Structure 1
Amino acid sequence: MSVQTPVRPPPPPAPAQKPGSDFARLYKKIAAAGLMGRRPGYYTARIAAVAALYAGGWAAFVLVGDSWWTLAVAGFLAFVFGQVALVTHDTAHRQVFRLRKASERAGRLAGNLGIGMGYGWWQDKHTRHHANPNHAELDPDVLPDVLVWSQDQARVAKGLPRLLGRSQAFLFFPLLTLEGFSLHVAGVRALANRALKHRTLEGTLLFAHFAVYLTALFLVLPPGMAIAFLAVHQCLFGVYLGSIFAPNHKGMPILTGDERPDFLRRQVLTSRNVHGGRFTDLMLGGLNYQIEHHLFPSMPTPHLRRAQVIVRDYCRDLGISYLETSLITSYRQALTSLHRAGAPIREARAAAAPAGA
């Protein structure tokens, strides 16, 4: 779930490290293997394929028209919107274009106009996440705005996090149905922040998306069916997007205060990889190689699989824990961690029960 925060400029693609550091030596290995090189052919083909699916999905929407089969189209477009979000993610990390301006233009077209996601707001939030993954005070993805991610957060939780915290493991996937709506709302709310660059452009593209989207729904479909399409599409989009990002860090160690290991260990120890074949790579957009992505955020997606072998062996030689699980196991670990984090709320409620009886 999302909170509005001040916008800050993104960091350079590869974090600067002191000469001779563990990360610097790893980077040399990766660079020597040619894995930081651009892949224009891959991204041209990928963007063309996603654009074709996007256009085809909306064409199918018009052709199917006033039929409940249109809900199947809504499900398909939820997948397509997720793929557009993944392309936007790669663009923000400058995997696609070397220049910042080109990356921002493409990101706004795909994010703001394509799927109604505030690109500037999301880029700032995601940049701060990469700098300090799973840090309770510095990573916006583990702030207790809706859920609590640690027992320390649970002990001081109020409002919605306290209300949901005791059952949050069971509510996690149902709550993901709201994630698509949350992204839209957060993008619009961020427009009120004067620090947001190109606010007028971002707002124009965002509201253009909403206007065209809603006009198409209510022009092609009767009102009840249009609302059903919107609900199915946005809810499944949220579940798909949340399911992509949930395995990456949820259930991994949470840092606090001055607890800040060096860059290599900070990224590896707080991230989890998901093993699988090419289908997993497609569905998760390469983010199943989360460790490698966090270490080398500007590395093109198709290189992550090869980088994994180098990174895993390097971590083994240094004695750094490197976690890779199946997709199902990653969800189980994340939900187990959520349930454990909510324990203080359940205990406080149980202790208060006799007094209220």
Structure 2
Amino acid sequence: MAPAPSRKETLLSRRYIEGQIAEGKHVIIFDDRVLKVDSWIPYHPGGEKSIKHMVGRDATDEINALHSQEARQRMLAFQIGRIQGPWLNFLPPIQGGKFRPFDEKAVYSEEDDTSGQESSEPPSPIFDAVDAAPRLRRRRSVSSRTSASTPDSEGSEPKPFFLDARTREEIALDTAKYPSLDTETQEDIKRRYRELNTRIEAEGLYKCNYFSYFVESCRYTLLAGLFYYFLLLGWYSTSAFFLGCLWHQLVFTVHDAGHMGITHNFQLDSTIGYIIADYIGGLSLGWWKRNHNVHHIVTNEPEHDPDIEHMPFFAISHRFFKSLRSTYYDRIMYFDAFSKFMLRYQDYLYYPILLFGRFNLYRLSWEYLILGQGPRKGPAWWHRWFEIVGQIFFWTWFGYGVLYRSIPTWGSRLSFLLISHMVTAPVHVQITLSHFAMSTADLGVHESFPQKMLRTTMDVDCPAWLDFFHGGLQFQAIHHLYPRIPRHNLRRTQNLILEFCRDTGIPYALFTFTDGNKEVISRLGDVANQLRILEECRKSCAEQGVFSDHH
């Protein structure tokens, strides 16, 4: 007689899983396993937000992309059962999904078991309208209720009809441009993506090239030496320039360490990252990891991705005109009078504002450390205290030792501070360049991870000798697909990604640095123009009581 299957191997129905989520449980699917991770959330080094965005979803590709083999093995301790066959994603509660309680005494039919998808997602007239358009491919195999838009805040005035029309237009363009969202197509994309990962592993592209880091270290030493040499000479502006160059270059290694792309050991890479980011650069790596993990999962989603939530200074989608609630910051991004003024000229203010980007990173770092937003338990419990010591160390050597003791006048101090910080602006341009011009349309919860990453991220085409300047951030699309690949191997990986895109029919966005900047400025200008139209509609409505010819 065959032994009874263990509790972890029990097949769980979709309806049962929905009921668990309705009770507030954090349940995710990983490699056909059902994981209930409530007890792990306080210990998760990457924060709780990234987990919450995966509740009710098949998180296999996201987990594989962002975690080591050891971390994935530890996750199996939270397994409560299995599923069979392809999983249709729920909309996570953090994104507005609604779930029905499960009654163990009730009798559920197979139809009840599969209809839970609709009950977990609010109706979407946007998708209904897209489905109704005869020129678009039919998407009825995917639930039409796949978009959760944040409701307008109470008391907000009605928005002109063109905003919804614009949303439908963006969704229609992406639906026509990218592969179908039907289950068969998306499952095939997932299969090819996982096969490519096996090939990448076989070719050794996850192995770090330590000689490249020797070259990097030589560059860092040279820049640090030039900074100190000219500081002693009293050439303060020149010294500030080289210090800014050093910070600019060090960011790339911090990025590698944050993704465990150097030694592949969590604690060792974290320590390397903290020393560089906090002790030398004055920025919190812990804050960045909490922010960045969410960004990698909900890329370019206005309500959820902190990397595009820059109100009141920038808006890359008209959806910000609705005073969206950020699920990351847990606050409303108000579309107020100051926002309207700034956004109207955002395409002109883009570069000037980015010159001051590093100062905003200080604020975010201090907020993260002072409020204790990172994990206080588990393997990363000590990281906050290590970073706080790092912040004290940084402001001792830089604020007191360099700015106050080494530079004699306040004018020279201010000049040194601004030059050293503004020289790092290309990093901020590089980061925003990869996403600001890409799609922010919501194609629903059934879009596969690789398709979403390639739809929302662009790469920058540059000669190999310029790789040191871009620091691997020019391969953001490739990096989003496989974040743990060391940056010095990303160029070698590019040919494999091109082959994958040809096989799956997913467009690969590749621009030169100049053209990419033009795309970003164009997007910012387009949104600013939409704002002007909105203001004209409001004036027309106020004067005539109707939208006149603007609807």
TM-score (norm 2): 0.59
Alpha-carbon distance, 1:223 to partner: 1.9
Alpha-carbon distance, 1:187 to partner: 0.6
- 1:187 and 2:372 aligned: no
Alpha-carbon distance, 1:241 to partner: 1.7
Tell me whether 171-180 or 37-46 shows the greater mean CA deviation.
Answer: 37-46
Kept in 2, the 8 Å contact 1:134–1:254? The answer is yes
CA distance change for structure 1 residues 60 and 29 in 2, over 3 Å: closer, same or farther?
A: same
2:255 partner SS: helix
1:173 partner SS: helix
Q: 2:397 aligns with which of 196, 205, 212?
A: 212
Measured against aligned partners, the alpha-carbon deviations of 1:81-138 in whole angstroms (never above 9, x if no partner) come to 0111111001111111211010111111000111111110011111111122112222
Kept in 1, the 8 Å contact 2:302–2:319? The answer is no
For 2:257, the aligned partner's letter is T
CA distance change for structure 1 residues 176 and 92 in 2, over 3 Å: closer, same or farther?
A: same
Cα distance in 1 for partners of 2:276, 2:221 equals 13
Name the one with the larger helix percent. Answer: 1
Alpha-carbon distance, 1:76 to partner: 2.2
- 1:59 and 2:254 aligned: no
TM alignment of 1:165-244, pairs within 5 A: 165-197=343-375, 198-215=383-400, 216-221=402-407, 222-237=409-424, 239-244=425-430
Structure 1 unmatched ranges of 5 or more: 1-5
For 1:320, the aligned partner's letter is I
TM alignment of 1:29-44, pairs within 5 A: 29-44=199-214
- 1:21 and 2:72 aligned: no
Cα distance in 2 for partners of 1:172, 1:250 equals 11
Corresponding residue for 2:45?
9
For 1:53, the aligned partner's letter is L
- 1:290 and 2:459 aligned: no
Measured against aligned partners, the alpha-carbon deviations of 1:160-205 in whole angstroms (never above 9, x if no partner) come to 4333111111111100011011111111111122342432221221
Corresponding residue for 2:278?
112
Kept in 2, the 8 Å contact 1:35–1:303? The answer is yes
Kept in 1, the 8 Å contact 2:459–2:474? The answer is yes
CA distance change for structure 1 residues 81 and 260 in 2, over 3 Å: closer, same or farther?
A: farther
Cα distance in 2 for partners of 1:162, 1:121 equals 29
2:370 partner SS: coil
Alpha-carbon distance, 1:279 to partner: 3.3
2:472 partner SS: coil
Corresponding residue for 1:148?
315
Cα distance in 1 for partners of 2:228, 2:281 equals 16
Structure 2 unmatched ranges of 5 or more: 1-41, 47-61, 73-85, 87-186, 324-334, 376-382, 544-551
Measured against aligned partners, the alpha-carbon deviations of 1:240-290 in whole angstroms (never above 9, x if no partner) come to 221221221111001438356211101111111111112331111011111
Q: 1:330 aligns with which of 509, 516, 521?
A: 516
CA distance change for structure 1 residues 39 and 12 in 2, over 3 Å: closer, same or farther?
A: farther
Q: Percent identity?
A: 23
Cα distance in 1 for partners of 2:446, 2:270 equals 30
Cα distance in 2 for partners of 1:159, 1:123 equals 33
CA distance change for structure 1 residues 227 and 15 in 2, over 3 Å: closer, same or farther?
A: closer
Alpha-carbon distance, 1:231 to partner: 1.2
Give the total of aligned pairs. Answer: 346
Cα distance in 2 for partners of 1:186, 1:257 equals 31
Q: 1:163 aligns with which of 341, 360, 373?
A: 341
For 2:230, the aligned partner's letter is F
Alpha-carbon distance, 1:353 to partner: 6.2
Corresponding residue for 1:79?
245
Cα distance in 2 for partners of 1:13, 1:127 equals 13
User: Larger relative contact order (C-alpha < 8 A, sep ≥ 6)?
Assistant: 1
Alpha-carbon distance, 1:310 to partner: 1.0
Alpha-carbon distance, 1:328 to partner: 0.5
